[in-house]
Chain A
Amino acid sequence: MQNEDVWLVVPLYDEAAVIADVVREARAVFPNIVCVDDGSHDASAERAEQAGAAVVRHPVNLGQGAALQTGFDYALGDPAMRYVVTYDADGQHQIHDVEVMVERIRRGDVRVVFGSRFLDERTEASASKRLVLRAAVAYTNLTTGTRLTDAHNGLRVLHRDVVRRLDITQNRMAHASEIVAQIGSMRFDGAKVTYAEEPVHILYTDYSKAKGQSLWNAVNILAELIWR
């Protein structure tokens, strides 16, 4: 079986309606999945477990950033793990995109592969959403010295060395920028972390839209980043 050295880290919060399908679909390609249940009020954790994922349960709700870090710590406990994929629980990511990204990182010249919605035209986002995401990525590029086209994409592939050094402290929304910032300032033998971007298709279903980030959230993200 391929991809045994890959762990999918899925922050999970109140997604009982979709998580089982998301896990099953992903497990057909990636056998190792850890769902970090962030104090869900529904049966999310049980559904994920039944579908074959490992489940780590936060005793209280801590936020998505904290859930990612917990997943990283968990995946590091598998000595065979070489790559971690951060993956959303609400079914808006395509497992095919992950396969492409993992293939990309296996070539060995980069340690991080970011997913980007804006490298092709597949993702249909509203104008306001585009504006928010563009502003966020402009701010992130400005402050972290990276050149990305989409900083708040939940889909990433990280090499074990990078995962080991990440320490996400932004529990709430700003963790995406924090991950980019930490990767941007990481040095391996004095050299910057090499990264690449791959186009991904985010499927904005009615379900994910209802739970998605609003324009107001951009304000919160910015505030959390500045007043950290």
Chain B
Amino acid sequence: MSRQSVIQILLIAAVLAIAWRLLIGSGQRTQALRRLGLLFLLGIVIYSIIDPSKTWTNLAKALGIGRGADLILYGLVVAFLGFVVTTYKRFRDMETRYTRLARRIALDEAPSAAEHVSSTGSAVTLSGEVPPSPSVKAADAD
């Protein structure tokens, strides 16, 4: 296997992992994994600051990429995709909650369906010009 294809496989795997996360992944394990990954990245960053000469380049070479800068770019693209997916999911969850809240308010402010029925009753004017007066009785089965 050529070195070039190592990074290709890694990148494809990363993109697939993101897609999978979008579809199913969530919860504590994913969050823990994300934090561990961040910690690992921080470690590499600090090490590369201490020893800037060859860290990224060596890592890139080991993966079959020419330069360290390219590796960082690839990593950024994957990380950005992951960010987009996570944000989208979070947004949807928030929208769902917000919708439930707004619906609750809307329903609480409106008179209930049963009240509406008893206030309009069954005596609907066929022309429907005016809403029937609230005095009309409610219980009227046909």
> Which A residues form the contact surface with B (CB < 8 A)?
1-2, 4, 7, 23-25, 27-28, 31-32, 34, 36, 50-52, 54-60, 62, 66, 69-70, 73-81, 169, 171, 227-228
By beta carbon, the residue of chain B nearest A55 is B110
* A88–B33 alpha-carbon span in the complex (Å): 47
Q: Is the CB of B117 within 8 A of A32?
A: yes
Mask of B103-128 contacts with A, CB within 8 angstroms, 1/0: 10111011111101100101110111
Select A52's contact among B95, B103, B128, B142, beta carbons within 8 Å.
B128
For A34, the chain B residues whose CB sits under 8 A away are 113, 116
Write out the residue numbers on chain A whose beta carbons fall within 8 Å of the beta carbon of B112.
Answer: 74, 77-78
Residues of A within 8 A of B22 (CB): 227
CB-defined contacts of A169 to chain B, threshold 8 Å: 96, 99
B92 proximal to A (CB < 8 A): yes
Q: Are A54 and B110 in contact (CB under 8 A)?
A: yes
* Complex CA distance for A76 and B141, rounded to whole angstroms: 19
What chain A residues lie within 8 Å of B110 (beta carbons)?
54-57, 74
A48 to chain B minimum Cβ distance, whole angstroms, is 11
Residue positions of B touching A, CB distance < 8 A: 22, 88, 92, 95-96, 99, 102-103, 105-107, 109-114, 116-117, 120, 122-124, 126-129, 131-132, 140-142
* Other-chain contact of B107, A27, A52, A56, A228 (Cβ < 8 Å): A56
Cβ contact within 8 Å between A57 and B106: yes
Chain B contacts for A77, CB-based, 8 A: 107, 112-114
Choose one: A32, A51, A70, A81; the contact of B128 (CB below 8 Å): A51
User: Nearest B residue to A65 by beta-carbon distance?
Assistant: B99
Q: A-B pairs with the 4 shortest C-beta distances?
A: A78-B113, A77-B113, A1-B122, A52-B131
Q: Which residues of A contact B142 (CB under 8 A)?
A: 1-2, 4
Distance A2 CA – B123 CA, assembled complex (angstroms): 11
Complex Cα distance A9/B84, Å? 36
A1 touches B140 (CB 8 A): yes
User: How far apart sit A28 and B122, CA to CA, in the bound complex (Å)?
Assistant: 11
Q: What would 13 A/B residue contacts be, using CB atoms closer than 8 Å?
A: A1-B124, A1-B140, A7-B113, A31-B122, A52-B131, A55-B110, A56-B109, A58-B102, A60-B102, A69-B103, A77-B107, A81-B113, A228-B92
Distance from B104 Cβ to chain A, minimum over Cβ atoms (Å): 9
A66 to B103, Cβ gap below 8 A? yes
Distance in angstroms between the alpha carbons of A47 and B46 in the assembled complex: 66
Residues of B within 8 A of A75 (CB): 113
A69 contacts which chain B residues (CB < 8 A)? 103
Among A54, A59, A69, residue most surrounded by chain B Cβ atoms (within 10 Å):
A54
- Name the residue on B nearest A228 (C-beta): B92
User: Would B126 and A28 count as touching, CB distance under 8 A?
Assistant: yes
- Chain A nearest CB, measured from B113 CB (Å): 4
With A73-B107, A228-B92 already in contact, 18 other A-B pairs whose C-beta atoms are closer than 8 Å? A1-B124, A32-B116, A32-B117, A52-B120, A54-B113, A54-B116, A56-B109, A58-B102, A62-B99, A70-B106, A73-B103, A74-B110, A77-B113, A77-B114, A78-B112, A79-B114, A80-B114, A169-B96
Residues of B with C-beta under 8 A to A73: 103, 107
Q: Smallest CB–CB gap between A30 and chain B, Å?
A: 9
Complex Cα spacing A196 to B128, Å? 31
